[in-house]
Amino acid sequence: MDKSMFKQFDVWFITGSQHLYGPDILAQVAADAKSIVDGLNASGRLAVNIVWKPTLKTTEEVNRQMREANAEDRCIGLVTWMHTFSPAKMWITGLSELSKPFCQLHTQFNRDIPWNSIDMDFMNLNQTAHGGREFGFIGSRLRLERKVVVGYWEDSGVQRRLDVWMRAAAAFADGRSLKVARFGDNMREVAVTEGDKVEARKVFGYAVHGYGLGDLTAFTDAVSNADIDTQVAEYEKLYVMGDGPGSDKGRERIRSAARLEIGMRRFLEEGGFKAFTTTFENLHGLAQLPGLACQRLMADGYGFGAEGDWKTAALVRAMKVMGAGLKGGTAFMEDYTYHLDPERPLVLGSHMLEICPSIATGPIRLETRPLGIGGKDDPARLIFESPAGDAINVSVMDMGNRFRFVLNEVEAVDPPADLPGLPVARVVWDPKPDLATAAASWIFAGGAHHAGYSQAVTREHIIDFASIAGVELLCIGEDTTVESIKNEIRWNEMYYHLARGL
Ligand code: MN
């Protein structure tokens, strides 16, 4: 998924001040804010275009601007900056009404203090250090979630943190109108893939639509042989044809997988869906479990969850948006099996079929192999390795009174051996701080066996996304101990119980 999806969005740059300083200073404030906006847009480091807005100096101006932001679909959030002091009572009603996320940029137009020339005029103009605190107070007084980025606006680290926040805001905006299609229901008696869809609509905004497999087969049956020829030719160009496709039966299975992919894609496009789930429990009318189709649709930016897991499908979509255009991919993932060597315990992450090739390195093989469960024909799947390096796993659960994200920072490693007999794509990782602590913490957090895995999206993206959505987040990383997580869970139980109210 490339960066072009961000073209539909803007972030508004809001400068706060007051009339006290007179027109000359206010003209300077506006000019400096425009320079910052132009500089940020020209940096090439920010995913979303920033739009300058006139300086706000009164309660009426703030109210009007916040209402305009709420009403403008293109606006996914505000960056607020106090060049001067801006008495914060004027922000109370407007910020209370604001329904878009905001990020306070605590920066200064000038990087350095001009030690030899500094005078009172300079002091009157450059007041972020205390003006930003007055604005911060009212955010805290109103108990508003927001991000605060501190530092010089031309600094690459500051711009990177702004970009992270914009991507999270874009993912949240995308989720407000997201439609998730479910082919089949939750599989059997699985608990963690269940959840409250009404609450999900309220918190994240996305809608979950259920379909019978017959709805999908109407689309797959309508696919022409010519379309299948084109699709298979594309497979042959992109992938190494491995075991299976060489035989007549194998070719037939690949064609059947191509039919599934084309039919599913048309179904999703026609319905405006950007995420979907499947289940291998009921595959009525389908020749094989969709593996290849799920993998290739995910690579095009669709969120996906197996076994009816709509929460993970929506999460994978959000992660796809946050990581758009960044190095590294994002995939649906499952902790599959362990390597419990005490020297370096590892996790092999995979799924029955549906790992996204956006995380692939090296050649990608297309094969048809027996599945062992589900009682259908041998499904086609892409088989590949994933690069070593830093990554995260993120999971989402419905805890009954709230949603919870749990995140684990991991280091993907090269597999210790070749795994020649494993017929699925896989990643091998070493969780932080170590497998024993990470897995116990994940289990105490109630973390699902399904996750979104990414080398593009970072802990900070998920922190920002959870903050914007107002959802609990537990992070497992280098500093985590099992006791620290257990305590955090206990405190969070109290906080979310009280914060939710009646
Ligand atoms: Mn699964």
CA distance 91 to 202: 26
User: In whole numbers, what is the pLDDT of the chain averaged over residues?
Assistant: 96
State the distance from the centre of ligand 1 to the C-alpha of 333, rounded, in angstroms.
8
Q: How far is the CA of 191 from the centre of ligand 1 (A)?
A: 12
**Residue 334 alpha carbon to ligand 1 centre in Å:** 6
Q: How many CB atoms lie within 10 A of CB 5?
A: 16
How far apart are the CA of 274 and the centre of ligand 1, in A?
Answer: 20
The phi and psi torsions of 13 (rounded to 5 degrees) equal -100, 115
Of 144, 55, 131, nearest to 100 by C-alpha is 144
What's the gap in Å between 500 CA and the centre of ligand 1?
31
Q: How many Å lie between the centroid of ligand 1 and the Cα of residue 322?
A: 23
State the Cα–Cα distance between residues 397 and 404, nearest whole angstrom.
5
State how far the alpha carbon of 314 is from the alpha carbons of 199, 208, 243, 380, in Å.
Answer: 14, 9, 33, 25
Using only C-alpha atoms, what is the Rg of the chain?
A: 25
Q: Alpha carbon 289 to chain centroid distance?
A: 26
**455 CA to middle of ligand 1, Å?**
21
Higher-pLDDT residue of 244, 146 = 146
Span from the CA of 450 to the centroid of ligand 1 (angstroms)? 6
What is residue 4's predicted lDDT score, i.e. its pLDDT? 96
For helices 248-271 and 225-238, what crossing angle results, to 10°? 110
What is the reported pLDDT for 243? 75
Residue linked to tokens 């920002």: 464
Would the pLDDT of 279 be above 90? no
Å from CA of 309 to ligand 1 middle: 8
Q: What is the pLDDT of residues 76-112, one digit of tens each?
A: 999 999 999 999 999 999 999 999 999 999 999 999 9
Contact 372, 424 (CB under 8 A): no
The rounded Å distance from CA 222 to ligand 1 centre is 29
What is the distance in A from the centroid of ligand 1 to the CA of 502? 35
Per-residue pLDDT at 45: 97
Give 49's strand partners: 10
Query: pTM of the prediction?
Result: 0.97
Give distance in angstroms: CA of 498 to centre of ligand 1. Answer: 34
Q: Which run of H or of E encompasses 101? A: none
**pLDDT tens for each residue of 203-215:** 999 999 999 888 9
pLDDT for residue 232: 97
Q: What share of the chain is helix, strand, coil (3-state, %, to 5)?
A: 40, 25, 35
Distance 464 CA to ligand 1 centre (A): 27
CA-to-CA separations, 162 to 3, 83, 106, 144, 193, in angstroms, rounded: 16, 18, 11, 18, 33
* CA 449 / ligand 1 centre spacing (Å): 7
- Residues with a beta carbon under 5 angstroms from ion ligand 1: 306, 334
At residue 495, the pLDDT reads: 95
Give me ligand 1 centre to Cα 193, in Å: 9
Q: Which of 148, 152, 150 is nearest to 108 (CA)?
A: 152
Distance of alpha carbon 8 from alpha carbon 389, whole angstroms: 32
Ligand 1 mean position to 394 CA, how many Å? 15
